[in-house]
Amino acid sequence: MKITFLDGSNKEFENGLSSYEIAKSISSSLAKRSIFALVNNQPYDLMRPINFDATLELITEDDPRSIEILNHSCSHLMASAITKLYPGTNFGVGPAIEEGFYYDFKTPNGENLTESDFELIEKTMHEIANKNYDFERIEVTRKEALEMFKDDKYKVEIINELPENETITLYRHGDFVDLCRGPHLPNTKFLKHFKLLNISGAYWRGDSRNEQLQRIYGICFFKKEDLDNYLVILEERKQRDHRRLGRELELFMISEYGPGFPFWLPKGMTLRKALEDYWYKIHKREGYQFITTPIMLNKDLWEISGHWANYRENMYISEIDKYEFAIKPMNCPGGILVYKSKLHSYKDFPLRLAELGLVHRHEASGALNGLFRVRTFTQDDAHIFMTEEMIVDEVGRLIKLFDEVYKVFNLSYTIELSTRPLEKYIGRIEVWDRAEKALAAACESVGKEYKINPGDGAFYGPKLDFKLRDSMGRIWQCGTIQLDMNLPERFDITYIDQNGEKKRPIMLHRALFGSLERFIGILIEHYGGAFPTWLAPVQLKIIPVNINYHTEYAKQLESLLLDKGIRVEVDLREEKLGYKIREAQTKKTPYQIVIGDKEVENGLVNVRKYGSNEQISLTKEEFLDKLLKEIESLGKETIIGGKSDD
């Protein structure tokens, strides 16, 4: 067989050799460092024989792609330890995730494990790993697999859903065998530096109608220092938890009278309004028209859109005048009704309709999580109507807008192009192919790389998903651009083309923040509550040294700043100066001005910036000018420190 390597060179090898044997023939050290291989760009176990001409790429532990294999193998190790401690445990699924892995399971006697059990499980995992078991790939028939897993109802359910003639693969290490597609590490000896992190409930297959299992999350690294660094980051994340900071900074609250329905407190509402103002400003510049659609609409609309048949269990239903109505879970149908309210021609395109639309979705109570998972939220939606020829230019323009906005918040991102699902999709394949090529061309037109996410498109069309990375290294799915081939057909929307004929427009759904609630939750943790000045609920705290002598000047300064739209507070409490300064720091107020005799006599301000020990003295006019420039530039220029690093 002929093997072609990454550099384009090729070499003949005997049929049936594994990637490991091929690597060893090149370099013993390369073989030792290799974790798995890509054979014809498909993941392959290092020890799996190759029997055909192929391209070969060896993935070592230094390659970021090896982390997923490491963590998935560690999920098997954890499952084997739980089986040893609790024989007869049934297992759901145990994938690698963005950070680490998890496994869902149910113990035979229904024991509820807790974090206090982690020490014993980890000890057992180390004992198993130290035996240096190989991960062995085994191919079996459906009948053989059903016999092997006859006592595990979850595995039986998965096996019965696989195609009739599909070869089923299992993986064995030691006495433990698991149903799995692979690939895996060559050996358990790589599994040394891991930590179990938390445990939660999880419905089987994510469906609240199914029974609840337990889910243990963990993380694994090749090097001890990487694990230690990660655990330090985890502690910092706890300090940045948006639920805790939301309380301390008086931003939002959740009441027992409305689980999943957040209340915005005055400071939180101020922050939200600043974000909305920015959103409106950039969308007005980009040629969007703004609409608002009703929060509740007749059942007939949701039947046309398909939500009644496919999403009803997540919708809140009511009756008005003996007709069924539903509170909207999405803004799209309302946006289409706005489009249909008048005739359109090709000259109207691209027609950009934007809406900060409040939606409601029934989420399981166990899934609720601060602002990250709620039952009511505001989507920053836009629906764009255009001709097919406009897709590349319009999507390219959108990508530039997304890039601009994410840079303002210092959020890096990657783009994934999700393509046609293998089975459940609507429309002709050739239309899908054109749509996918158009989205890819749009990325290329603005010089943005993208990763293909095969088969993960919505049933109604392909999409671009924007994965944001915050200051804690976490990945968030926020922005999305979706091409819809469903709703234009369902609602029979048209436009008049150059020849006076009716045509079906192309429809794009796009959200930049995703939802205001979730995005604000992300920002709270991303900034650790220390928001940039333009976004902060209170931008400036004025602190008189002596309220008997310095209050008048402080109030004059407050009036000047308020007239310019600055969000300012004056601290006139009978407290010590040091206490007031520390509290302003605790509340993460961007700037504090301390007013004493010198400032009153000379019309000056003594400025302190949050997180900095530096103080500067400016005239009040100089300070106001610099503060307004910082706010206007969205933090690109700062009073202390000059221009920002980004």
Q: Which of 397, 509, 510, 620 is catalytic?
A: 509
Residue count (the chain): 646
- Is the pLDDT score of 612 beyond 90? no
Euclidean distance between CA atoms 82 and 279, whole angstroms? 49
**What's the mean pLDDT when you consider all of the chain?**
92
Helix axes 266-285, 391-408, angle to 10 degrees: 140
Mean pLDDT of 53-74: 93
Q: Which of 463, 510, 580, 609 is catalytic?
A: 463
pLDDT tens digits, residue range 474-513?
889 899 999 988 889 889 999 999 999 999 999 999 999 9
- Is the pLDDT score of 645 beyond 60? no
Euclidean distance between CA atoms 190 and 181, whole angstroms? 20
Active site residue 463: yes
Closest CA to 451 of 408, 413, 425: 413
Helix axes 429-445, 391-408, angle to 10 degrees: 50
- Is the pLDDT score of 628 beyond 70? yes
| Distances 192 to 45, 76, 227, 555, 582 between C-alpha atoms, Å | 20, 14, 10, 62, 44
- Is the pLDDT score of 238 beyond 70? yes
In this predicted structure, what is the pLDDT of residue 646? 42
Active site residue 332: yes
Active site residue 184: no
Phi, psi of 22 (to 5 degrees): -65, -45
Q: Which of 106, 184, 379, 580 is catalytic?
A: 379
Euclidean distance between CA atoms 154 and 170, whole angstroms? 15
- Is the pLDDT score of 644 beyond 70? no
Active site residue 434: no
Quickly list H helices, 185-306. 224-239, 242-248, 266-285, 299-305
pLDDT tens digits, residue range 79-106?
999 999 999 999 999 999 989 999 999 9
Q: Which of 272, 383, 550, 580 is catalytic?
A: 383
Active site residue 539: no
Amino acid present at 223: K
pLDDT tens digits, residue range 247-278?
999 999 999 999 999 999 999 999 999 999 99
Phi, psi of 506 (to 5 degrees): -85, 140
Active site residue 503: no
Amino acid present at 485: M
Contact at 8 Å (CB) between 435 and 464? no
Instruction: Find which of 24-28, 50-54, 533-537 is predicted with most confidence, using mean pLDDT.
Output: 533-537
- Is the pLDDT score of 207 beyond 80? no
Active site residue 492: no
Q: Is 483 helix (H, G, I), strand (E, B) or coil?
A: strand
pLDDT tens digits, residue range 369-404?
999 999 999 999 999 999 999 999 999 999 999 999
Closest CA to 616 of 603, 607, 627: 607
- Is the pLDDT score of 641 beyond 70? no
Could you tell me the domains of the chain? Answer: 2-60 (3.10.20.30), 66-239 (3.30.980.10), 252-293+328-525 (3.30.930.10), 540-643 (3.40.50.800)
Euclidean distance between CA atoms 258 and 239, whole angstroms? 26
Q: 388: which DSSP letter?
A: G
Euclidean distance between CA atoms 298 and 300, whole angstroms? 5
Euclidean distance between CA atoms 634 and 448, whole angstroms? 24
Q: Which of 76, 193, 352, 361 is catalytic?
A: 361
- Is the pLDDT score of 78 beyond 80? yes
Helices (H) and strands (E) in the chain, counts: 20, 35
In this predicted structure, what is the pLDDT of residue 602? 93
Q: Is 260 helix (H, G, I), strand (E, B) or coil?
A: coil
- Is the pLDDT score of 633 beyond 80? yes
pLDDT tens digits, residue range 320-353?
999 999 999 999 999 999 999 999 999 999 999 9
Amino acid present at 568: V
Q: How many CB atoms lie within 10 A of CB 165?
A: 7
In this predicted structure, what is the pLDDT of residue 311? 86
Using the structure block, give the residue that is written with the tokens 């796009």.
Answer: 510
Euclidean distance between CA atoms 249 and 488, whole angstroms? 45
In Å, how far from its chain's centre is CA 387? 31
Phi, psi of 588 (to 5 degrees): 60, 35
Q: How many CB atoms lie within 10 A of CB 366?
A: 13
Q: Which of 152, 178, 381, 571 is catalytic?
A: 381
Q: Which of 74, 180, 332, 478 is catalytic?
A: 332
